[in-house]
Amino acid sequence: MLPLKIILFALFLALSALAGPSVSFAADGGSDLRSLINELAKGSYDDTERQIGAIATLGDEAAMPALQALGTNDLMARKSDGIVFIVKKAGRNYELFDAITGEAAGEAARRDMERIRINNRLRRAIRSALGELTLMSKNPERRMKAAEQVFKARDPEAIETIDQALQAESDPEIATLLRQARAAAVLNSDASEADKLAAVEGIKERGDQEARALLASTADASEGELHDAAVMVQSHVEQILAAWNAAQNVWYGLSLGSVLLLAVIGFAITFGVMGVINMAHGEMVMIGAYTTLVVQEIIRTSAPWLFDFSLFIVLPLAFLIAGAVGVALERFVIRFLYGRPLETLLATWGISLILQQAVRTIFGANNRKVGTPSWMSGLNEVGGLTITYNRLWIIIFSLVVFAVLVSVLKATRFGLYMRAVTQNRRMASSMGIRTPWVDALTFGLGSGIAGIAGVAFSQIDNVSPNLGQSYIIDSFMVVAFGGVGNLWGMLVGVMTLGVVNKFLEPYAGAVLGKILVLVFIILFIQKRLRGLFALKGRAVEA
Amino acid sequence: MIAQASGSVLYLDDVSVSFDGFKALNSPLVLQPGEMRAIIGPNGAVDLTTLDEVDIAELGIGRKFQKPTVFESQTVFDNLELALKIPRGPFSTLFHRRSEPEKARINELLELIRLTDRRDELAANLSHGQKQWREIGMLLAQDPKLMLVDELAAGMTDAETAQTATMLKEINKTRSVVVVEHDMTFV
Amino acid sequence: MITSFFLRAFDGKALLFLAILAAFAIAIPAGNLLFPPDHALHVPIYVVSLLGKYMCYALLALSVDLVWGYCGILSLGHGAFFALGGYAMGMYLMRQIGVCGVYGNAELPDFMVFLNWKELPWYWYGFDAFPFAFLMVLVVSAVLAFIFGWFAFRSRVTGVYLSIITQAMTYALLLAFRRNDMRFCVNNGLTDFKDILSFSVQADGTRSALFFASVAAVAVGFVIARAVTRSKFGKVLIAVRDAESRTRFLGYRVEHYKLFVWVLSAMMAGVAGALYVPQVGIINPGEFAPANSIELVIWVAVGGRVTLVGAVLGAVLVNFAKTWFTGVFPELWLFALVGLFVAVTLFLPKGIVGTIAQGWSALRQRRRSVRAEAGIDEAPYSGEASMKHQAAE
């Protein structure tokens, strides 16, 4: 039951965050609108026209389905009580849908329903009312959305309405959209070739998937000059599309890379300082993700108002818990295996299995969804780029963690000790640095950061007991790829790997992509790996 | 940096060893067969790491490291046998049978490096000086024209140092030796 | 030359081990075939197949010991060679089903008919002939090992890096074999085998024969591995393991040595897989899972690496424990396995056989020093020396 509750709650949050204002608006105006819609069925054509006008002045988008249904003769009134429904034929009966919400409202026999009749005058009235509700709405956001929809509809009959809207439009951005929508409608109409040529040019700037589809169908349906123009503009649009697509891939790659960055830093530090490949490192990420899950669950049951701040509670907690597990791992197992890297590899792998099995026993093997606070959900479109806020936050966050870590290593005493132990363990030890202590803390730090990575991970993907597994090979690849000496190399390595992965995926498939990266690394691994702050030159040989 | 000039075993041109901006050595170094030279200089003065290791072996140069690296889990005898100059491909070693001349050669080397009585002992259990001798033995087993010996005396007892010096003189009868060292008495 | 090479493998200890194997190979099938089911000495057929499975694992463990124990290459991807060998054999067995399948299609295996494939993919050609299939068992593993090893060793990838890359290799194969368009019957694997060399795989006689073949394969693998490790080649391998760059300075092309032993080991693993499949009756992509490869490394670690007998014993003991555990406490097996491994690495780094050998030679050592004190020369061995020496053998 627990996961279901979580999902529902998350859904509710997401919905209220996305659609907060309009939902409440609809609730207030609902009853008013409903009575107006019910009035549609009464009186003469003139009365109906007046009602349509009244609905348009109300300016509520919720009226749109009913008006559209009216235009297609699908709006009917129930004879018994005069309530108006949107109907759909179902055998001998009609299926009824609420005129505003569109919810199913049972069935009715044909003879119980009466169609609201319309004529051409009313059709025009409906169209202009729809236009008024949308294209000429006072709310610019709604206008923009409407213009988009009109563009997609490519309805030649909408040209008139669009022209009206264009005259009234003051926002240049929306005006451009409207002009494009008009061009789309013109291309779909039987307008003259010259008009259509102009329209093709008008589409050019749009450069998105719809524009491409529109141009392709225009090119198919036409010949001669128009065909050539459409083909040319289409290829232009395709170039733009490819560029945006690449940008999108880079964006996804960067966000993937930044989660990876958090996962890898800890891995690389422990590897650099102690020469230990910790195969259980991915499980620290998992522990962080499950910490998020548990904390959110507690907040949800005992203090729901805290939910938006849950991540601020989770972050230090995940760091501490994963860090503690890391320190325990170092103290009880790894410490006894120093100087035996292969055994360490195997032992930590075994521990990773135990951790996975333990989490599976406690939380179950299923994927679990972790809630996203409202301030992290939603998205923004920049040109052809979809930027989701959670990914944006994660990139910012991981860069902040990276910066903090760099300053810890550079500016604190602990950082100094760590670098000393990395460069020359025996010398550091004889200078009075307690190397076992540095080892344990380094391990704790690395694991803690992995725990934080788990929190970040939980915001972009589902949480499952074996989520950590995939990180080990990736982490290793990063260390192989970018970890030739410093944190910056690793930053570059992580981001490159993230982006390369994303680029290979669509062309080669995820599997082949992995294999290719693998082959690449085998081929280019010539430079031996040293982890962070590695020594260069002769000292390495010793 | 290394080339075989006519007649000489080793010809080092354009050798520059700078140490904190101080030029330690900057002259061509030409070595005739059977000559012994000592280069007095700091750690790493003769750095051949840029050359592929196998190439060095094939050029007829044996290089000894300052820090002896032995095959610890094998006996002194095995260590020397591994170093013998016989075909070293995987298939020739796979079907290799130790011949009498080989055995004799190993025993001769053991005699020279004064390790005959420890021939069946694991290399790990030798003293530091003995490891160095074993290292020299392994070099000789490769039958090089030239031996590069890097800081041999470091860490040896005085007695061992003296024995080493005699040993090197014996070796020098048949081949060239370059010693890199900063222990002046040893030189 | 070849004979002298193999003769090297036989000394007292080896002969003893081979004799035990031979007794085992004869006693178990005899117990099944000669005694009636209610007889006290009767060996049930499932036990025969189970032991046969253990023998395949033992051969696999030998192959890992050869590269890990003697050459220091910790492969976390040997399961891949095992599975490839298994697939080659599985393809042969699929072709043997012929018209006996559910669809009675002589041209196509059942699953291809089921998935609506019209013709046999080219890489299935030839697998209806046993000699070809057997050749492929060796060739496929060897080719993969050669290509992989050639790149990896030439690039001087060593230690943990190599281990991770081998793991990535088997992981990549796992993903690849799970893809539908690879046409290896996707996730369900190859199964429902009927005949091998026109004997029914279900029959007691065939199963006993397969068991015998598995023991024989372990014996052959043991002899080859022992011959290799006791030759001068084996000394070079140990030299590579202990001081790779020093070996290079001696003029050995280390990468050639590694490549040779790596390919040899992969072929042994392939044969193990080929014998395994008819005995368990299925091969699926799950065999490529990295966890399998790591598990088999644990067998070797537990038994004792650098001792070939230890690898065999480790495989048998750990798998026996696994069979017992998964019957009694199925959830706890993983914990037990990892616990066993951690305990062995911490307290018995030489594994079971290695530790016993060490104890034995320490005992001998004490006797010798007693003799030495009695007035003979100073004992040239120290205790530690002979311990290490023993391990090196």
- In this predicted structure, what is the pLDDT of residue A535? 41
Give the amino acid at A452.
Answer: I
What's the first-to-final CA gap in chain B, in angstroms? 25
Q: Which tokens go with C5?
A: 């090479």
C341 lies in some domain: yes
Q: Looking at the domain assignment, is residue B8 inside a domain?
A: no
User: Does C340 fall in a domain?
Assistant: yes
Each residue's pLDDT tens digit, C170-211: 888 887 787 766 566 555 678 888 888 888 888 888 999 999
Task: For residue B101, tell me if it sits in a domain.
Answer: yes
The answer to the question of residue C260 being in a domain is yes
- pLDDT tens digits, residue range A415-460? 888 888 877 788 888 888 888 888 899 899 999 999 999 998 888 8
CB contact under 8 A, B44 and A538: yes
- Residues of A near B (Cβ–Cβ under 8 Å) read 538, 541-542
B152 has a pLDDT exceeding 70: no
Share of chain A above pLDDT 70, in %: 85
> Is residue C114 assigned to a domain?
yes
Which pLDDT band holds residue A27 (cuts at 50, 70, 90)? very low
Partners of A77 in the beta sheet? Answer: A84, A114
Contact (CB<8Å) C389/B95? no
d(CA C200, CA A357): 40
Position C379 in a domain? no
CA distance linking residue C343 with residue C333, whole number of Å: 15
Residue B30 lies in a domain: no
For residue B166, what are the domain limits?
A: 41-181
Residue that wins the pLDDT comparison between B181 and C220: C220
Is it the case that residue B130 has pLDDT exceeding 90? no
Contact between chains at C381 and B121 (C-beta distance less than 8 A): yes
Best C228, C249, C262, C376 residue to mutate vs chain B (most B CBs within 10 Å): C249
Range of the domain at C219: 2-349
Q: Which of A342, A476, A515 is opposite residue C74, by nearest beta carbon?
A: A342
Q: How confident is the model at residue A315 (pLDDT cuts 50, 70, 90)?
A: very high
Chain Cα centroid distance, residue B92: 25
CB-based contact (8 Å) between B47 and chain A? yes
B72, part of any domain: yes
Query: Helix (H, G, I), strand (E, B), or coil: what is residue C181?
Result: helix
**Interchain CB distance below 8 Å, A357 and C152:** no
- Residue C131 pLDDT: 93
Task: Read off the tokens for A185.
Answer: 């409608």
What local confidence, expressed as pLDDT, does residue C379 receive? 39
Does residue A483 surpass a pLDDT of 60? no
Q: What's chain A's Rg over C-alpha atoms?
A: 31
Task: Name which of C232, C248, C306 to mutate to probe chain B: the one with the most chain B Cβ atoms within 10 A of its Cβ.
Answer: C232
CA distance A327 to chain C (A): 17
| Distance in angstroms (rounded) separating the CA atoms of residues B175 and C8 | 37
Sequence letter at residue C4: S
Instruction: Say if strands B61-64 and B146-150 run parallel, antiparallel, or are unpaired.
Output: parallel
CA distance A53 to chain C (A): 59
Domain assignment present for C377:
no
What residues contact B178, with CB distance under 8 A and at least 6 apart?
B10, B31, B36, B37, B38, B39, B46, B146, B147, B148, B149
pLDDT bracket for residue A321 (50, 70, 90): very high
> Average pLDDT, stretch A167-188?
80
A257-261, A315-319, B145-149, B159-163: lowest mean pLDDT where? B145-149
Per-range mean pLDDT, top range of A256-260, A492-496, C89-93: C89-93
A-contacting residues in C 90-149 (Cβ below 8 Å): 148
Cβ distance of A340 and C345 shorter than 8 Å: yes
Q: Which DSSP string do the residues of C184-228 spell out, in sequence order?
A: S-TTT-EE---EETTEETTSHHHHHHHHHHHHHHHHHHHHHHHHH
Q: Tell me the count of A-B CB pairs closer than 8 A.
A: 5
Whether residues A538 and B49 touch (CB distance < 8 A) is answered with yes
- Nearest CB among B71, B89, B122 relative to C389 is that of B122
Mean pLDDT of chain B: 68
Residue from the list A342, A472, A511 with its beta carbon closest to the beta carbon of C175: A511
In a domain, B18, yes or no: no
A164-178, B63-77, C312-326: segment of lowest average pLDDT: B63-77
Model pLDDT, residue B16: 45
How many Cβ atoms sit within 10 Å of the Cβ of residue A319? 23
Quote the pLDDT of residue B48: 43
pLDDT of residue C56: 96
Asked if B44 reaches chain A (Cβ–Cβ under 8 Å), the answer is yes
Contact B49 A541 (CB under 8 A): yes
Under 8 Å between Cβ of A254 and A324: no
User: Which chain A residues contact residue C337 at CB under 8 A?
Assistant: 350
Alpha helices in chain C (DSSP H): 2-7, 12-33, 45-71, 78-97, 110-114, 130-154, 159-178, 204-230, 232-242, 244-249, 254-280, 290-303, 308-328, 333-347, 351-373, 383-392
| Residue C368 included in any domain | no
Is C220 part of the contact surface with chain B (CB cutoff 8 Å)? no
Tokens representing A385 are: 């780029």
Closest C-alpha to B10, from B147, B138, B142: B147
Q: What's the total number of domains in chain C?
A: 1
What was the pLDDT predicted at A511? Answer: 62
Identify the pLDDT of residue A50.
81
What is the number of alpha carbons within 13 Å of residue A156 lying toward its C-beta? Answer: 7
Q: How many other C-beta atoms lie within 10 A of the C-beta of residue A102?
A: 13
Is C231 domain-assigned?
yes
Average pLDDT over residues B119-129: 80
Q: Which residues of chain C register pLDDT less than 50?
A: 376-393
Torsional sign, CA A14, A16, A19, A21: negative
Please state the domain count of chain B: 1
How many angstroms separate the CA atoms of C388 and C380, rounded?
14
Residues written for chain B: 187
Cα(C378)–Cα(C369) distance, rounded to whole angstroms? 8
Answer whether residue B22 shows pLDDT above 70. no
User: Is B24 a domain residue?
Assistant: no
Integer Cα distance of A380 and A386 in angstroms: 6
Which stretch of DSSP H or E encloses residue A113? strand A113-115
Residue type, C369: S
Segments of A334-461 assigned E as strands: 379-382, 385-388
Mean pLDDT of chain A: 78
Which pLDDT score, from 0 to 100, does residue A29 have? 46
- CATH code at position B105: 3.40.50.300
Contacts of A119 (CB under 8 A, 6+ apart): A45
Q: Write out chain B residues lying below 8 Å of A542, CB-based.
A: 67
What is the C-alpha to C-alpha distance for residues C42 and C45, in angstroms, rounded to an integer? 9
- Backbone torsions φ then ψ of C310, nearest 5 degrees: -60, -40
Q: What is the pLDDT of residues A88-147, one digit of tens each?
A: 887 778 888 888 887 888 888 888 888 888 888 888 788 777 777 777 777 777 777 777
Chain C residues touching residue A509 (CB < 8 angstroms): 179
Which position has the higher pLDDT, A487 or C211?
A: C211
Q: What angle do CA A503, A504, A506 make, to 5 degrees?
A: 85
CB of C118 within 8 Å of a chain B CB? The answer is no
Residues of B in contact with C243 (CB under 8 A): 69-72
CB contact under 8 A, B44 and A542: no
